[in-house]
Structure 1
């Protein structure tokens, strides 16, 4: 039987360049768990391009490791709008 545990990373508030290192460390630790990673972004208020790039990079890194990384978001929230503006699709709702 496979391991069905999930590691959750919650991101909230306003995140920008000054927060990238802390967010990167949290994502990296979650990916080391080798479980499914869920990034809950429903309480993000604002996010800049540096954090958006980091989240997308984490998703690619997870794919290369064979780990599922998904974003918990809702239509019209900050991350969804930022990805839509950047022309990026495939965000879980």
Structure 2
């Protein structure tokens, strides 16, 4: 694996961890690049806590257009994600 790929994997794991999606990091086998705990701080704070769907949307937006498209496709799969 090139350094460029390793750096991108690290960026992805950081964004997912920042939004409390660290469980997906282990499932995807990315924990080698960034061991995480659930919900690392570092994203924009607000008065009301973000919901899980909001965290997922924010993470996908931060990761770029390919991930946004992935989120759009994922949103059509009621068997994979709940309605909210």
TM-score after normalising by structure 2:
0.29
Q: Which has the higher strand share?
A: 1
Higher Cα Rg: structure 1 or 2? 2
More helix by share: 2
